[in-house]
């Protein structure tokens, strides 16, 4: 089952750069029953391996914007360290469903901008590149805290507010997510919050899945690829809202469940 899940998620990552954390963390929490901290750590390493496999495909086609990549990393890496520290300070088993729900709403809403032309500004990044680190900072914080959204939010930002073609957006964001995944995985590895058996099963399906997704992306016209990226991002956002709601419901039930005490008689 985990291999199938890994293949589907990896295919989305290879084709759009989205899904490494947005789909994996909720799946590991809800299906595998992992604690939140363990799910985040496992998803970080899984996403890192997928992006490591996918990156050469986009590098070979020169679908990377090095300037925007560097500017986004300047803001996202400090944010990632801050978010990881916050996750470590909190009770890792308690989870953060409200944060996941908020992320899902932001992701779904921001992805919808792709279909509203008057809200897009393709010249923003070129004219206001100094703002990219500041826009990437909260993406890094959120990624460190939940491992979800770095690829999706970065993709949505570049897709609607830069002059890049969709394939270049995906390639740039893949490397962006790869750097964050490597750094995040190193911290979570030191925390001992990675489930290696589950990770191995995910990668068994994920490695061929990401290769298939990269090859498929080459055959999709630019306009259609932009639509596919936006639709997957919206779906990822709605899925995060659902996953967070389920976790919130479970916590509410657990908090209100009392164990009856049997009366003892002599």
DSSP 102-165: HHHHHHHHHHHGGG-GGG--TTHHHH-GGGHHHHHHHHHHHHHHHS-SHHHHHHHHHHHHSS--
Answer whether 198's CB lies under 8 Å from 34's CB.
yes
Q: What pLDDT score was predicted for residue 146?
A: 62
Q: What pLDDT score was predicted for residue 203?
A: 93
Q: What pLDDT score was predicted for residue 69?
A: 92
Point out the residues of the chain with pLDDT beneath 70.
36, 87-88, 90-96, 146-151, 188, 190-192, 258-266
Check residue 229 and report its DSSP letter: H
| Distance (Å, whole) CA 260 – CA 266 | 19
Burial of 175 from C-beta contacts in 10 A (0-12 / 13-18 / 19+)? buried
| Distance (Å, whole) CA 241 – CA 246 | 9
| Distance (Å, whole) CA 62 – CA 124 | 22
| Distance (Å, whole) CA 59 – CA 53 | 11
What b-and-e string marks burial along 18-29, b requiring 16 or more CB atoms within 10 Å of the CB? bbbbbbbbbbbb
| Distance (Å, whole) CA 68 – CA 159 | 12
Check residue 32 and report its DSSP letter: S
Which token pair is 189? 């590895």
Q: Which of 105, 89, 95 is nearest to 29 (CA)?
A: 95
Which token pair is 27? 């799946």
Question: Which residue in this structure is represented by tokens 């680190």?
Answer: 133
**Claim: this prediction has a pTM higher than 0.95:** no
Answer whether 67's CB lies under 8 Å from 132's CB.
no
Q: What pLDDT score was predicted for residue 147?
A: 60
Q: What pLDDT score was predicted for residue 262?
A: 53
Q: What pLDDT score was predicted for residue 94?
A: 44
Q: What pLDDT score was predicted for residue 188?
A: 65
Q: Cα angle at 25 between 22 and 28, to 5 degrees?
A: 140
Q: What pLDDT score was predicted for residue 93?
A: 45
Q: Which of 191, 109, 185, 201 is nearest to 147 (CA)?
A: 185
Q: What pLDDT score was predicted for residue 209?
A: 93
């Amino acid at each position: 089952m985990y291999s199938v899940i890994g293949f589907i998620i990896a295919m989305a990552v290879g084709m759009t750069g989205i899904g490494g954390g947005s789909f994996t963390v909720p799946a590991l929490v809800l299906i595998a029953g992992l604690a939140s901290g363990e799910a985040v750590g496992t998803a970080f390493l899984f996403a890192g391996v997928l992006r490591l496999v996918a990156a050469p495909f986009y590098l070979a086609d020169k679908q990377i914007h090095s300037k925007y990549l560097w500017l986004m990393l300047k803001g996202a890496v400090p944010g990632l360290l801050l978010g990881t520290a916050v996750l470590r300070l909190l009770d890792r088993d308690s989870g953060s469903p409200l944060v996941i729900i908020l992320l899902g709403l932001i992701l779904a809403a921001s992805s919808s901008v792709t279909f509203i032309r008057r809200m897009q500004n393709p010249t923003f990044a070129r004219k206001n590149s100094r703002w990219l680190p500041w826009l990437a900072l909260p993406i890094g914080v959120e990624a460190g805290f939940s491992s979800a959204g770095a690829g999706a939010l970065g993709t949505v930002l570049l897709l609607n507010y830069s002059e890049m073609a969709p394939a270049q957006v995906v390639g740039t964001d893949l490397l962006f997510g790869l750097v964050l995944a490597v750094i995040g995985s190193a911290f979570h590895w030191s925390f001992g919050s990675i489930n290696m058996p589950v990770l191995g099963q995910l990668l068994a399906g994920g490695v061929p899945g990401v290769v298939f997704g990269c090859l498929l992306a080459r055959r999709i016209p630019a306009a259609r690829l932009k639509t596919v990226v936006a639709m997957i991002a919206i779906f990822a956002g709605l899925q995060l809202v659902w996953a967070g709601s389920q976790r919130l419901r479970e916590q509410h039930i657990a908090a209100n469940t009392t164990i009856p005490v049997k009366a003892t008689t002599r």
